[in-house]
Homo-oligomer: A and B are copies of this chain.
Amino acid sequence: MKHTKDLLNEQYRTILTRYLQNKSEQGLYQAEQLSKQLLEQKVSPEELVSLHRTVLSDLFPSLSKDVQDSFEFLLEVMVGYGLAYREHQSLRDRQQ
């Protein structure tokens, strides 16, 4: 059986791919909905950026090295946000 995170990753890939094909508002709505599930499953913001980079690289094999490397940079910044986010979860859990 697949892990929930793996399923969410696949869903992200599917919805993003479809969005890039038709650029519909519905795709953005689905992104918003998926966001809630990703948060529930404690997917960190840096994991999200990493997933986005992977899907883009797969969809566009000719994606320039610079654009790919720029994600490395964004990831590094997002790690700080991930720490704040995990602190948030532990604060919230303590209040419950």
Residues of chain A whose beta carbon lies under 8 Å from any beta carbon of chain B: 12, 15-16, 19-20, 23, 27-28, 31-32, 34-36, 38-39, 45, 48-49, 52, 56, 59-60, 63-64, 66-67, 69-70, 72-74, 76-81, 84-85, 87-88, 91-92, 95
User: A96–B59 Cα gap in the complex (Å)?
Assistant: 46
Q: Which of B12, B36, B72, B79 contacts A80 (CB 8 A)?
A: B36
| Cβ B20 vs Cβ A69 within 8 A | yes
| Cβ A76 vs Cβ B45 within 8 A | no
User: A15–B63 Cα gap in the complex (Å)?
Assistant: 22
Q: Which of B20, B77, B85 contacts A38 (CB 8 A)?
A: B77
